[in-house]
Chain A
Amino acid sequence: MATEQRSWERFDRRRRISRFALLLIAGVTVIASWRFMDTGIVRPETIPREVGDLLTRMYPPDVAYTTQIVQPLIETIQIAALGTLGALVLAIPVALLAAENTTPNAATFWLGKFIVTTSRSVNTIIWALFFVVLFGSGPLAGAVAIVFRSVGFLGKLLGEEIEEIDFGQVEAVRASGASQAQVLLYGILPQVKPAVVGLSIYRWDINIRDSTVLGFVGAGGIGVELFRAVNAFAWQSVAMVLIVILGVVVVTESLSAYTRGLVR
């Protein structure tokens, strides 16, 4: 008696075909994209040489330049800090609107969603372009740009935290005769406080990175120095600025990770 031949296959026929089709579409899209861009002047094979050339011009970094970038660096850190603080203040009401369980009605819910989405879809640098028009160039425009960019991020994530709270506690506070403000203060806030602290620190970390480029559109910070050095082809100074930014970002990231570990 012949034994039955059984074979095992990971995917059935239909899934195999759909997987193949998806890969094909992706491949065609990438090739079409490359053709579309028609990058004429520079051939890709020259890239390693060009980049290598740039790196040799950057070495050694101009250490004496450090004294000039301390002040802009401090300004960058200040922009990030104020931007995060401002965003947090604005994000709490936005989060309450954008959370399904605390928003008063459908209209306010969509208002909250609208604020969150718009803020997040517009990059910091575009917000900065806008506020430089309003406030004139300088760090104030940068700080306000950071605020408007961060509101969406904080509002969205805080809103999600608020949607997950235990509503029993809120009702308990309300049942004891608390006013609206008291319900917020004793029913909701204590439950999301760790998230508020953690998310703000996380966003502050991102804002430090973002505020390093604000200077390109005239919104203050270390980007101003970097832009100036690049335009003057002072590559050794550029290298120094980059090293300083790298240092600050690495320190910020570790500080942020450590502090978030504490509140978690």
Chain B
Amino acid sequence: MAAGNRTWERPTVFPRRGVKWAVYAGIVGFFVWSGFGVGADPGRIAQGLGSAASLVGDFLPPTATPRQAQRILDKMLESVAMAMVSTLTGIVLSVPIAFMAAENLSPKPLYAINRGFISISRAFNAIIVGIIAVKAIGFGPLAGILTITFKTVGFFSKLLAEDIEDIDMGSVDAVRAVGASPLQTLLYGVVPQIIPRFAGLSVYRWDINIRTSTIIGIVGAGGIGSVLLTAFNRYDYQYVTAILLAIIAVVLVAEGVSAVVRRRYN
């Protein structure tokens, strides 16, 4: 009896070797085609990066006259205020939607409608929502609040609904078994199980909302973004750098606060 020649091959996700190479070839081909489509020839990239080197000088040092500094401060406060208000409105609207979008609590048609709404909210970038909000209700922070609220609802109710789907239905049944009404079941069976996640998610979304509110002004929806776009259009690059530094600082502070709070709750 001949001893079988045993070879070892690394496990792979592809059922057959031919398929694997075909997939790889397809991906490479797609990237090459994309390169042509985007017009990414090395010469042009090198030229752009070359001019970047000289342009960096135009951006440095960051400068802002006292009036400009005051404007940065005002608009930055507006951004933060937009984020605060819309985090609250977004979360308040998310709670019922999350309950209706949880498979274990909600009837099928309601589930489908709410999941659909969540998908729509998540699919569109804040800038797109912002531009439509601005056209609908005019320039200013209210359009920003509307935009961020809409984006918050999609994000927040999706994650909250997933948490609700993961709860222990045993304790819900126990509450129901002692004769609680549907509302009481929700209040004493479901809510206590999701409160810690709820707090963590709120702070996380607040952090994201601060980031969004700093750029949404680019389409006229209030906040520091409008100042940034104007400065860019006026080729006032040193002022642009000052604004960017302010944005980065605020984003980092928000991220730090959010990380600290979430560590306490998780």
Chain A 24-65: CB-based contact to B (< 8 A → 1; otherwise 0): 000001101110110101101011001101100000000000
CB-based nearest A residue for B33 = A78
Indicate whether A98 reaches chain B with its CB closer than 8 angstroms. Answer: no
Chain A 237-264: CB-based contact to B (< 8 A → 1; otherwise 0): 0100010011001100000000000110
Q: How far is the CA of A133 from the CA of B51 in the complex (A)?
A: 10
Contact (Cβ within 8 A) B251 A121: yes
Q: How far is the CA of A246 from the CA of B122 in the complex (A)?
A: 9
**Choice from B38, B80, B215, B232 contacting A33 with Cβ under 8 Å:** B80
Tell me the total A-B contact number using a CB cutoff of 8 A. Answer: 155
Nearest CB of chain A from residue B241's CB, rounded to whole Å: 10
**Choice from B55, B119, B120, B218 contacting A216 with Cβ under 8 Å:** B218
For chain B, which range describes its interface: under 10, 10 to 19, 20 to 34, or 35 or more residues?
A: 35 or more
Q: With A121-B247, A123-B211 known to touch, is A246 a contact of B123 (CB < 8 Å)?
A: yes
Chain B 33-46: CB-based contact to A (< 8 A → 1; otherwise 0): 11101111000110
Q: How far is the CA of A39 from the CA of B138 in the complex (A)?
A: 11
- Given A81-B34, A121-B251, A123-B215, 8 other A-B contacts at CB below 8 A? A37-B145, A39-B142, A75-B38, A79-B38, A129-B232, A233-B135, A245-B124, A246-B124
Binding site for B on A (CB under 8 A): 29-30, 32-34, 36-37, 39, 41-42, 44, 46-47, 50-51, 53-54, 74-75, 77-79, 81-82, 85, 117-118, 121-123, 125-126, 129, 131, 133-135, 138-140, 142-144, 209-210, 212-213, 216-217, 220, 223, 226-227, 230, 233, 238, 242, 245-246, 249-250, 262-263
Considering the complex of A and B, which 7 residue pairs feature the smallest CB-CB distances, nearest first? A33-B81, A78-B34, A249-B123, A213-B127, A33-B84, A135-B48, A78-B37
Binding site for A on B (CB under 8 A): 13, 30-31, 33-35, 37-40, 44-45, 48-49, 51-52, 55, 77-78, 80-82, 84-85, 88, 119-120, 122-125, 127-128, 131-132, 135-138, 140-142, 145-146, 211, 214-215, 218-219, 222, 228-229, 232, 244, 247-248, 251-252
